[in-house]
Amino acid sequence: MASLLKLYGLPEQDPRFEALMTLARQRDIRGWWRMWDHATNAAYREYIALETTATDVLIFQPNLIPGLFQTADYARTIISSVDMAPADSVAPQVELRMARQSVLSQPNAPRITAIIGAAALQAVIPDGGMEAQARALVHAAARPNVDVRVLPARTPAHPGLTGGFSLLRFAEGPEFDVVYMEYATGSLYVEDPAEVSRYAQAHALLLSLALSAEASREYLTRIAEGSSEHH
């Protein structure tokens, strides 16, 4: 954790450094994800650790279903085809992704506000996989701490065109907010408060452009039922 904080530009003298180190040590005590160390990188494991103690997680994914809501079949397809993971690491990565979803029902579970681009719902997943994935999203959205919204394809230009991100908030205060982004060969954390604030503003704007919770549920239900009307 210390090396990651330094890598992302947080010096030891910054008061957030020791606070985050303390949080990391507390998380490590119950770090069930460590059993998948062999199949994941340190940055992703650290994200899972942060996710388990966040109070709010704001997600925007234009082209993929967020990992917290993926079915095993969808995750397997994405990990093997999009992430191009080695064949022997696909199964453990799928297992970890499924285990990670326990955060949705843990005590003091974070509030999740996820905005998913319509393009993410057009992927072809074998054997009715997208219909099953849409059902899983409808089920997740029924949780009191989960809000799933669909961003229509025909939407004015917006800051989300630069790519997906997750913004995590913590009880310790806004100065601990962090943004996490993934790219083809790695990931990136943004911790500068001014930059994090811009992502929060972007998420709020995207939320205003997305379908309402009810309209999103209806959209997802049509996909789950195999309707072509969502295209």
- In order of start, what are the domains of the chain with their CATH numbers? 2-100+109-224 (3.30.870)
DSSP string, 118-177: GGGGG---TTTHHHHHHHHHHHHHTSTTEEEEEE-SS----GGGG--EEEEE-TT-GGG-
Mean pLDDT value of segment 1-28? 55
Q: Where residue 123 falls among pLDDT bands split at 50, 70, 90?
A: confident
The upper half-sphere exposure of residue 172, i.e. CA atoms within 13 Å in the direction of its Cβ, equals 16
Token digits for 135?
A: 């059902």
User: What is the rounded average pLDDT of the residues 197-205?
Assistant: 97
Segment 191-217 shows an average pLDDT of: 96
| Ranges 64-68, 70-74, 125-129, 186-190: which has the least confidence | 125-129
Write down the number of H helices and E strands in the chain: 8, 6
Supply the pTM of this predicted model: 0.82
The reported pLDDT for the residue numbered 29 is 41
In degrees, to the nearest 5, what angle opens at C-alpha 70 toward C-alphas 218 and 104? 85
Mean predicted confidence (pLDDT) in 55-65: 97
